Chain A
């Protein structure tokens, strides 16, 4: 079972648009990541997002590659400062592969908690649009790979 933890791609500042949709760079980065996931043959059973515009937009771009283009689903408890309890529970009972698109610091805490049991137990370098793939093994969650859009060439 795999859990893909994603930080939403780059968004416009609050004073440009209070809803903070993806910026041009954010759209570009999300598309690059979607192309990478398609090439890597990543498929999931569900894509969820926090409900914020920038997370929903990112989730829907990635969903085109990894979830047959289904519209990503809003999941409560994915806000920037929410407790990680809810997503941990969802991931462990999902019975399939799950992609969750949200925010910092939530996603960084989630990675650390899955890998070490403590939300500050380890540090991975998130950036907007980054994807971290965790895999559930007999010994718990392990880091399988992580990729940042800054490293990918244009599709």
Chain B
């Protein structure tokens, strides 16, 4: 089982944090990441997102490329300050390749917790639009990092239109 943890794309500013949408740059970043994953024939059975708009939008873009027709699932408890340990326990029960779209600092802490047992190990820098693929560690406890991308790595250097 592969767990693809994604931080939402760059979002617009707005008065209500939960309602903030992706910015044009954020959408373009997530579309580039989705396209890149698709060319690598990555597909998933489930797509999950937090209760916040920017994570749902990110999930929609990824699902359109990697899991067309799949029913998006909203999950509580993975908001920016969600419960990392509860999430880890839940993820261990999943059997199918799954995308989870969420936030910082939650996603970085989740990766650190899954890989080391310490949510504050500070293992990763999770920029907007980053995708991190984890699988169960074949050599021991916990999870192993399989690969990780940022939009910047996929899109190349910043361009004028950004």
Contact = CB atoms under 8 A, between A and B. Distances in A.
Contacts of A153: 39-40
Given A124-B144, A151-B147, A142 B124 contact: yes
Given A116-B123, A143-B145, A153-B39, A122 B115 contact: yes
B124 to A, nearest CB: 5
Contacts of A145: 130, 148-150, 153
B146 interface: yes
A109 to B, nearest CB: 13
Given A40-B153, A145-B153, A151-B40, A124 B121 contact: no
Interface string B87-127: 00000000000000000000000000001100001111100
Interface residues of B, number: 27
A93 interface: no
A122 B123 contact: yes
A116 B121 contact: yes
Interface string A115-150: 110000111110000000001010110111111100
Contact of B140 (A123, A137, A144): A123
B157 interface: yes
B40 A144 contact: no
A143 B153 CA distance: 13
A40 B149 CA distance: 11
- Among B40, B147, B149, the one with the most A-chain Cβ atoms within 10 Å of its Cβ is B147
A144 B152 CA distance: 11
Which of the listed residues B40, B123, B144, B156 has the most CB atoms from chain A within 10 Å of its own CB? Answer: B123
Residue among B40, B122, B154, B156 with max Cβ neighbours from chain A (10 Å): B122
A58 to B, nearest CB: 18
B76 interface: no
A142 B123 contact: yes
Nearest to A120: B140
A152 B39 CA distance: 8
A146 B148 contact: yes
A118 B133 CA distance: 22
A147 B39 CA distance: 14
Interface of A: 39-41, 115-116, 121-125, 135, 137, 139-140, 142-148, 151-153
21 contacts: A40-B152, A40-B156, A41-B156, A41-B157, A116-B121, A116-B123, A122-B145, A123-B137, A123-B139, A139-B122, A140-B122, A142-B124, A143-B125, A144-B148, A145-B153, A147-B147, A147-B149, A147-B153, A151-B147, A152-B40, A153-B39
Given A41-B156, A137-B125, A147-B147, 8 more contacts: A40-B153, A40-B154, A41-B157, A115-B121, A116-B123, A122-B145, A143-B148, A148-B147
